[in-house]
Structure 1
Amino acid sequence: MVNKERIIHEFLEMVQVDSESGAERQIADLLKDKLTVLGLEVVEDNAGSHIEVGQTTGNIIGTLPANGGKGPLLLFSAHMDTVKPGKGVKPIREKGIISSAGDTILGSDDKAGIAAILEALRVIEEKQIKHGGIQVVFTIAEEKGLVGAKRLDYALIKAKLGFVLDSGGSPGEIIIKAPTQYSFKAAVKGKAAHAGIAPEHGINAIVVASNAIANLKLGRIDKETTANIGFISGGVATNIVPEKVVVEGEARSINPAKAKEQIDHMIEEFEKAAAKFSASVDIEPVKQYDNIDLAEDSLPVQIALRAAENAQIKPHLGQTGGGSDANVFNGQGIACANLGIGMSKVHTTEEFITEEHLVENAKYVVEIIKVAQEIGA
């Protein structure tokens, strides 16, 4: 039922539309038009105005009313933004593979997900497939920390279960576990002094931060938990005892309690180091997103498993150490799995996707809609 050339043509069209994070206006307008033509009621929220000055594009929410089906209202989502370098993408289609010309990313992350959703909507319209209603959410600023999903106007979202198409695994991968993540920024303040004349009058903020970091559990903590220090900045000159240093890091775990325990440990070590050297530290954790923890017998997982079988795609239940919009949706009470869509080497100029995976993704979404009608009523 999926039109191979149609979905490939649409994918090629979309990847050539510039949409780096913060500049999604053009792709948003294109998608609003496409969803409207497909019969969806389309709304753009004001999420962009909450993100940064000059960001005017919001999330796109499309709703297709039930057409006589008895299944649940389903949510399908993908993000509109891409990473850099994402301007002037020139896709190359060769021997069943689509890649960029080599000087930009391709943008299959996540326009392959968008293409699958659009093609599935066309198929259910053409074949008059019954459903209990569909909501489509195309988010902004996913690559900037899932900000679009966090700022989404959830008053517009009525679906209670859904699927995000944004995992790098092959079609059939169903992510049912993903971590809670906390981040922190520690501003350590010591005391400036001349490093050559009176260093004993100073408090070296870099030394304080180094002491804290040396006592941190970092890297792979256990099979569920990781932690990292990713940014350090401070000091003015080699002849000045540095008064201030800023350290940024994170902790994440499939187990929310372990994530909280790890971030608390990191904060405690910075506070202990500051006290040891008579310095001060301004540090506060921020929960970036909630975890995904879907039971194998939960409705979205059961729908996804049976749909994969119907589409002749081998299913695989998996977990990831990364976050996606699905984390945010689950945190909002929407039971949501993240699906593999076959994008490869994302965030690099070697990014590619196969034509076969593009087609399989659309088939899979169609089957999810059909199966939801069968077992979700």
Structure 2
Amino acid sequence: MINEKRVLDRFLEYIQIDSPTKDERKFADFLMKEMEKIGIEVYMDNAGEKVGSNSGNLIGKLKGNTDGETILFSAHMDTVSPGVGIKPQIRDGVIYSDGTTVLGGDDKAGIAAILEAIETIKEKDIPHGDIEIVFSIFEEGGLYGAKNLDYSKLDAKLGFVLDSGGDPGQIVVQGPAQNKINAKFIGKEAHAGVAPENGISAIQIASEAISNMNLLRVDEETTANIGLINGGGPTNIVAKEVIFEAEARSLKDEKLKEQTDHMVKCCEEAAKKFGGEVEVEVINAYGAFNVDENHDIVNKVKAACTNIGLEPYTSTTGGGSDTNILNINGITAVNLGIGEKKPHTLEEHLHIKDLENAARLALEIIKEYA
């Protein structure tokens, strides 16, 4: 039922409106006008003021014409860098950038699919319950839009996030919690040529700590990574201070704690070994989510997939998304595959058929809850 040309044109227009993280306002203003034109009541919250963005999250509402259950659709407006001046290219049914930027299918493909589905139900007068929409800011880099969303404006207890790289039919039912682990190693300055034995190298402490850590793929449910290390100075001075920024993720809270404690212990033992100091800060970035595969929301998506000829399958993910935050805030949500390939790279691309199928799936989910 969807208009295939319109959903493609819609997506191509969206990705050419710049919306890097914390600078989403131009795109948000455009979407507000488009949503109002479709007949969606739309409101912008004040999350931007809290997180340093020039826009808030968009919250849309469409009144139902049946007494079906209220459902929520969600996607994020911001894109990663380099994402300014995107010039889409279409080759053999696949949409690419020109190779100098990302494509922005993460997550404007989700937005295009959602709005295409809703415009279709309005045009075709398809029965539907109340529908709510959240288009969030500042998803990339911390899920800050969803964390600061005005949840008082929402009634839905079931949510569908369109923001996964799997093919349409993928239902992500489990995602990890993440801890940020920031460490500052403190040594003692000394002349590196004259009296190095009087110094304590912060670089040496940090190196010892990192070399003793279990990193990258720890097990099938747990990962860890050092993302940044910085410090030191001239080669003739024993380095006094080094910092690193790291993360740990796991699908299981107890494993996340175990991995985090291990990394902190490595830092402390390294500092003790060389006679230096270390200050470690652990910040929980977001919690895990786990939706039972027998939950009605999963069964409804599976039925919707089958209705339109897609093969449904459940999966887990190692990445965070607004799905984590919605679940924490009392909205049972799953993340749906929409075909984003190689996101966050210059090779990002999206098959047109996947964009169309994502819109068809959103429409069919609406019909399942009518």
| Shorter-chain TM-score above 0.5 | yes
Q: CA deviation at 1:362?
A: 0.7
**1:177-206 alpha-carbon deviations (Å, 9 max, x no partner):** 111111111011111111112222221111
Q: CA deviation at 1:69?
A: 2.8
Q: Is the 8 A contact 1:105 1:346 kept in 2?
A: yes
- Structure 2 counterpart of 1:65: 63
Letter in 2 for 1:46: N
Q: CA deviation at 1:41?
A: 1.9
Q: Is the 8 A contact 1:100 1:352 kept in 2?
A: yes
1:207 has 2:204 as partner: yes
Q: Is the 8 A contact 1:164 1:325 kept in 2?
A: yes
Letter in 1 for 2:6: R
- Structure 2 counterpart of 1:39: 39
CA distance in 2, matches of 1:284, 1:320: 26
Q: CA deviation at 1:85?
A: 1.8
Letter in 2 for 1:194: H
1:130 has 2:127 as partner: yes
Q: Which runs of 5+ in 1 are unaligned?
A: none
- Structure 1 counterpart of 2:176: 179
1:337 has 2:337 as partner: no
Q: CA deviation at 1:6?
A: 1.0
CA distance in 2, matches of 1:236, 1:95: 52
Q: Is the 8 A contact 1:203 1:243 kept in 2?
A: yes
**1:147-167 alpha-carbon deviations (Å, 9 max, x no partner):** 211121222222111111010
Any runs of at least 4 consecutive aligned residues in structure 1 with deviations exceeding 3 A, and if so which?
none
Equivalent position to 1:245, from 233, 238, 242: 242
- Structure 2 counterpart of 1:5: 5
Q: CA deviation at 1:45?
A: 1.1
Q: Secondary structure at the match of 2:31?
A: helix
Letter in 2 for 1:19: S
Letter in 1 for 2:132: Q
- Structure 1 counterpart of 2:20: 20
CA distance in 1, matches of 2:185, 2:261: 17
Letter in 2 for 1:51: V
- Structure 2 counterpart of 1:157: 154
Letter in 2 for 1:142: E
Q: Is the 8 A contact 1:61 1:135 kept in 2?
A: yes
Letter in 2 for 1:24: E
CA distance in 2, matches of 1:162, 1:299: 12
Q: CA deviation at 1:47?
A: 1.3
Cα RMSD (Å): 1.4
Letter in 2 for 1:102: G
Q: Which moved more, 1:333-342 or 1:211-220?
A: 211-220
CA distance in 2, matches of 1:144, 1:20: 11
- Structure 2 counterpart of 1:270: 267
Letter in 1 for 2:177: T
**1:319-338 alpha-carbon deviations (Å, 9 max, x no partner):** 11111111111122211111
Q: Secondary structure at the match of 1:217?
A: coil
TM-score by length of 1: 0.95
Q: CA deviation at 1:276?
A: 2.7
**1:185-236 alpha-carbon deviations (Å, 9 max, x no partner):** 1011111111112222221111111221122111222111111112111101
CA distance in 2, matches of 1:314, 1:56: 40
1:354 has 2:351 as partner: yes
Letter in 1 for 2:33: D
CA distance in 2, matches of 1:224, 1:4: 39
Letter in 2 for 1:48: G
Equivalent position to 1:147, from 138, 144, 148: 144
Q: Is the 8 A contact 1:69 1:130 kept in 2?
A: no
CA distance in 2, matches of 1:93, 1:217: 43
CA distance in 2, matches of 1:216, 1:96: 45
Q: Secondary structure at the match of 2:60?
A: strand
Equivalent position to 1:221, from 209, 218, 222: 218
Q: Which runs of 5+ in 2 are unaligned?
A: none
Q: CA deviation at 1:93?
A: 2.8
Q: CA deviation at 1:104?
A: 1.9
TM-score by length of 2: 0.96
Q: CA deviation at 1:58?
A: 1.0
Q: Secondary structure at the match of 1:143?
A: coil
CA distance in 1, matches of 2:4, 2:64: 26
Q: Secondary structure at the match of 1:142?
A: coil
Letter in 1 for 2:138: A
Letter in 1 for 2:2: V
Q: Is the 8 A contact 1:68 1:130 kept in 2?
A: yes
